[in-house]
Structure 1
Amino acid sequence: MAKENDIVLIHFEDQPLGFARVEEILPDNKPDWYHVKLLMLQVPLQVVTWILRDRYIMGDEFTMNGKRMRLERIVCPETVPDGNERPENGPESVSPPADGKATVISLADKLKR
């Protein structure tokens, strides 16, 4: 089930249409219905609120203006699109120091160079 801050792929008539981030899920007056606030990841950015049943948030197909729609929760793949594995200690995976004392690195200072 998609939850707040998840990225979802919106399918329109069985075709991928675009991505959105789930900003907020609030209950509706009707049981099992929710107000789902989505940030459409497009240019320009757009915020929409759809009223959906719980099962539609889980990925079941629904219709909007007679057109088939579906939300698919996106999970970061283990491999990058070019087929290479992620490096074990690359930017995506940082291990804490063995002594337990972390160092703060200022990105602003690095950008000044």
Structure 2
Amino acid sequence: MDLQPAKTEVRENDIVLVYVDEKPAFFARVEGFTADHKPKWWHVKLLMLTMPLRVVTWVLRLEQINGVEPFTMGGTPIRIEKVVAPPEQATPEDESETTPTQESAVENEKQQHAEPDDGSSKASILSLGSKKTD
């Protein structure tokens, strides 16, 4: 008995990676599914995340949509794989970070608006534009 690897079902708004000739070719967002007139076939609308963006509709079976079964287009092998974000891993830096309190935020605000220590309270303006000549 030939067992297929467990695949997660592709749904509307999922991001998929499309392989062409067994090489990653482009990402796409699944825009929707519409039943075809043939049983077990579906029109799958994909927004290709390329420049420029393109919308395509492919007629596929569920096994092809979910990446269990590759298919061909014009003799070229195509495979779809759902993109699943990896789980976030806590780092020692993340664990040591604390959320700023309201008191520390107020203190920081005061420091930013404090008067200069040199006694001069005059501000100067620095122009980044060109100098006007008369």
TM-score, with normalisation over the residues of structure 2? 0.59
Show structure 2 runs of 5+ residues with no match: 1-8, 96-134
State how 1:34-53 maps to structure 2 within 5 Å: 34-53=42-61
- Cα distance in 1 for partners of 2:23, 2:86 equals 21
RMSD between aligned residues: 1.6
Correspondence for 1:56? 64
Cα offsets for 1:70-92 (capped at 9, x unmatched): 0000011114xxxx64758xxxx
1:72 aligned partner: 81
Letter in 2 for 1:2: V
Q: Distance in 2 between matches of 1:3 and 1:25?
A: 9
Give the gaps of 5 or more residues in structure 1.
89-113
For the 8 Å contact 1:6–1:21, the answer to whether it is kept is yes
Q: What SS is found at the alignment partner of 1:38?
A: strand
Q: Which aligned runs of 4 or more in structure 1 are off by greater than 6 angstroms?
A: none
Letter in 1 for 2:41: W
Instruction: Name the one with the larger strand percent.
Output: 1
SS at match of 1:19: strand
What percentage of residue pairs aligned between the two structures are identical?
50
The equivalent residue for 1:24 is: 32
The alpha-carbon distance between structure 1 residues 30 and 17, as it changes in their structure 2 partners (threshold 3 A), is same
**Larger helix share, 1 or 2:** 2
Larger radius of gyration: 2
Aligned to 2:19: 11
Give the C-alpha shift of residue 3 in structure 1. 0.9
Distance 1:30 1:85 in 2: 49
CA–CA distance in structure 2, aligned partners of residues 38 and 85 of structure 1: 34
Task: Give the aligned length.
Answer: 84
